[in-house]
Amino acid sequence: MWRIKRAVLMDLLEAARNAYPDEFFALLGGNKREKIIDEIIVVPAEYGRTSTLIKTWLVPFDSRIAGSAHSHPGNYNFPSSADISSFAQFGELHIIMAHPYNLNSTRAFNVKGKGEKVEVVE
Ligand SMILES: [Zn+2]
pLDDT by residue (tens digit) across 97-112? 999 999 999 999 999 9
Strand partners, 46: 53
Tens of pLDDT, residue by residue over 30-63, are 999 999 999 999 887 766 666 666 666 666 677 8
Cβ pair 6, 121 in contact under 8 A:
yes
Compute, in angstroms, the gap from residue 38 CA to the centroid of ligand 1.
22
Nearest in space to 94 (alpha carbons), one of 36, 48, 27, 45: 27
- In this predicted structure, what is the pLDDT of residue 51? 64
Q: Strands 2-5, 36-41: parallel, antiparallel or unpaired by DSSP?
A: parallel
Compute, in angstroms, the gap from residue 71 CA to the centroid of ligand 1.
7
Give the count of beta carbons closer than 10 Å to the beta carbon of residue 63. 8
Q: Strands 93-98, 106-109: parallel, antiparallel or unpaired by DSSP?
A: antiparallel
* pLDDT mean across residues, the chain: 90
Compute, in angstroms, the gap from residue 42 CA to the centroid of ligand 1.
17
Nearest in space to 4 (alpha carbons), one of 98, 116, 100: 116
Q: Strands 2-5, 118-121: parallel, antiparallel or unpaired by DSSP?
A: parallel
Compute, in angstroms, the gap from residue 56 CA to the centroid of ligand 1.
16
Compute, in angstroms, the gap from residue 96 CA to the centroid of ligand 1.
7
Identity of the amino acid at 50: T
Compute, in angstroms, the gap from residue 94 CA to the centroid of ligand 1.
10
What residue ranges define each of the domains in the chain, with the CATH number in brackets? Answer: 2-121 (3.40.140.10)
Compute, in angstroms, the gap from residue 1 CA to the centroid of ligand 1.
22
Strand partners, 71: 97
Compute, in angstroms, the gap from residue 48 CA to the centroid of ligand 1.
11
